Amino acid sequence: MTDCLLDALADLRAQGNQIPIWDADRREGWFDGLAELMAQLHNEDQQLAWVGLIAADLCRRRPGLSLSVAAGPLLDRLVPSSAKQADNLRKMR
């Protein structure tokens, strides 16, 4: 299964190069798809490595974009929902 998952991630990664910068709907769907696949990687180091690869791709396509900004959408989607809920509760206090 891991080989199929890695192949799917590689294919989806390559598709990101074909999404125009102004097409936010497609880009958000692409981020969602990547995050769903990366969440199936049970090793956090592998997840972070893929975040780095995708973010580096985005930085190469958009000069001036920082690596942290490029990684943000994926990292946000990979945070478990319970951690997000706890963070939201802290912010409300």
pLDDT tens sequence for the chain (93 residues): 567 888 888 898 888 888 887 898 998 999 999 988 888 888 888 889 989 999 999 899 888 999 999 999 999 998 775 565 566 667 776
Domain segments of the chain as ranges: 2-92
**Sequence-separated (6 or more) residues with CB below 8 Å from residue 25:** none
Task: Give kind and range of the element (H or E) at residue 19.
Answer: none
Nearest CA among 77, 28, 25 for reference residue 51 = 77
Note the pLDDT of residue 44.
Answer: 86
Q: How far is CA 2 from the centre of its chain?
A: 18
